[in-house]
Amino acid sequence: MVEHLLPKQKVAGSNPVSRFRNFMKIDLHLHTTASDGILSPRSVVKYAKLTGHDIISITDHDTVNGIEEAISEGKKLNIRIIPGVEISAYKGKQEFHILGYFFDRQNKDLLLIFEKMKFFREKRIKRILKNLDYFFNLKVDFVEMKKNLRVKNYGRPHIALMLLRQGVVENVQQAFDLYLDDNGPCNVPKYPFSTNAAVNVIHKAGGVAILAHPGIYIANNIENLNYFLEIGIDGLEVFHPMHNKELTMKYIEFAREKDLIITGGSDYHGYLNEDFFSLNIALTEKEIYKLENMSKDLCSKEKI
Ligand SMILES: [Zn+2]
Ligand SMILES: [Zn+2]
């Protein structure tokens, strides 16, 4: 579980696989101010460098806007940045997050869907604020919220932070529990994009599609994962702060059995209680190699 905390070793050899360093510090799930994180893409890269990372991916919600800045900072600091994204999608009423890696950032279909989501998001947040006012007489001003929180992609956590500042709640979690949860009294559903469509749009852009933090939605019910196999998911985010050791081992077993790529990341936003930067992510460079190769396969399939 904590292999990356061990000293790095170089393994010599002519076989490309054996050239991989066994222990690298990798984090494939990080948020920035391009969506709802607290640090800019540049700062996330700096922080990753300070904490000894070799490879990271910026995976903002439904946007690729933070990637260029991260890549240019990564070049300066000699840390590899993998282009990533975390797409919000639905299977019926259940929300799932699909991570995409190594896709074409200029892909028109991908950019169009993110534009639609952005438009929808602003309308949704305004409706949630109206609900807070209507049902609970709690007033959060949208313009003031935008001004106070220098992020480009608003979400419920920002409303929760505003309520925290007003002293209405004691922490972010309480705001969710009382008002903002998926089934909470003030929530409004997100843009209705299906899990199937999310996997397809990532594949068509030449990327690899990974089911994010399955433990949050599926927990121990491994059977439910079969649906994601049917829609063509390429891998599982096995290492995630919300997965305990037992769940992590179950997902590793499942991924190996079904020949799925294993990924992991801290899901760092910078303000939530569970935010710990890159704890217990036991990924090796070999997994990155697999991800990249799968993406090349998908790209060549696209061209046929
Ligand atoms: Zn997520
Ligand atoms: Zn995330």
Q: What is the pLDDT of residues 139-173, one digit of tens each?
A: 999 988 888 776 667 788 889 989 999 999 999 89
Query: Range with the lowest mean pLDDT among 10-24, 98-112, 214-228?
Result: 10-24
How far apart CA 55 and CA 62 sit, in angstroms, is: 21
pLDDT for 304 beyond 80:
no
Q: Locate all alpha helices (DSSP H) within 218-265, ordered by sequence.
A: 225-230, 245-257
Q: Is the pLDDT of residue 55 over 90?
A: yes
Q: Could you tell me the distance, in angstroms and rounded to a whole number, from the CA of residue 177 to the centre of ligand 1?
A: 18
Domain 116-180 fold is DNA polymerase; domain 1 (1.10.150)
* Of residues 183, 147, 178, 144, the one with CA closest to residue 160: 178
Give how far Cα 260 sits from Cα of 47, 146, 221, 253, 263, Å. 30, 40, 17, 10, 10
Mean pLDDT of 234-246: 93
CATH 1.10.150 domain position(s) in the chain? 116-180
For the stretch 149-158, pLDDT in tens is: 766 677 888 8
Contact 176, 188 (CB under 8 A): no
Mean pLDDT within 162-187: 93
pLDDT of residue 220 exceeding 90, the answer is: no
Cα(259) to centroid(ligand 1), Å: 23
Q: Which ligand ends up closest to the CA of 268?
A: 2
If you measure from the C-alpha of residue 10 to the centroid of ligand 2, how many angstroms do you get, rounded to a whole number? 31
Strands 94-101 vs 208-211: parallel, antiparallel or unpaired:
antiparallel
Distance 100 CA to ligand 2 centre (A): 12
**What is the spatial distance between Cα 124 and Cα 189, in angstroms, rounded to a whole number?**
8
Look up the pTM and report it: 0.83
* Between 35 and 261, residue with greater pLDDT: 261
Separation of 83 CA from ligand 2 center, angstroms? 14
Q: Which residue spans of the chain are classified as CATH 3.20.20.140?
A: 21-105+195-303
21-105+195-303 fold: TIM Barrel (3.20.20)
Please enumerate in sequence order all residues whose Cβ is within 8 A of that of 188, keeping only pairs 6 or more positions apart, or say none: 124, 127, 128, 131
Q: How far is the CA of 64 from the centre of ligand 2 (A)?
A: 13
CA torsion sign for 136, 139, 145, 146 is: positive
Query: Which residues make up the environment of ion ligand 1, defined by Cβ < 5 Å?
Result: 97, 212
Question: Which ligand is closest in space to the CA of residue 85?
Answer: 2
